[in-house]
Homo-oligomer: A and B are copies of this chain.
């Protein structure tokens, strides 16, 4: 089981679109089940009901985290917010079961931005966090900068981006 996580709770996010597009790429290399967890499904009050002393108390949150925690491999599609990952993604991670959460799994990161960075710092910070939690991160991390210019409504049109996404998907299956 590979689970693709959309790393923001913004509605109708570009990251959701990229995640579905990535699924279609991944299916070319992987015949097992692929699940999709979109953080837009997070309960609006999860930071008050699913963290710290409330860890494990919110059923809706538990369902989402279980789908992440039960995957063998994870893909995170991560938009760049304020020079890093969305705070909501980290708050979701802060609500995972500890310490088992994502330990000993393997993961791949994809950065998405309107601007020129492509989420490079977001992915660096996330790599630190995931490594801390015991998740091995694939070296190749495509940085999809200026995404609006390279998206035609259904697919990415930038050849380099597509090459990198295919390489990543193929490597993830063998990782």
Contact = CB atoms under 8 A, between A and B. Distances in A.
A83 to B, nearest CB: 3
A133 to B, nearest CB: 6
Nearest to A138: B136
Interface stretch (A24-32, A62-70, A89-97): A89-97
Interface in A1-60: 9-11, 42-49, 51-53
Please tell me how many copies of the chain the complex holds: 4
A85 B90 contact: yes
Contacts of A141: 131
Given A90-B86, A136-B175, A140-B134, A47 B11 contact: no
Instruction: Give the size category of A's interface with B.
Output: 35 or more
A82 B131 contact: no
28 contacts: A10-B51, A10-B53, A42-B47, A44-B45, A44-B49, A46-B47, A47-B87, A47-B91, A81-B94, A82-B90, A83-B129, A84-B132, A86-B90, A86-B94, A87-B87, A87-B90, A87-B93, A88-B94, A90-B90, A90-B91, A116-B145, A117-B120, A120-B121, A121-B124, A127-B127, A134-B139, A136-B138, A137-B139
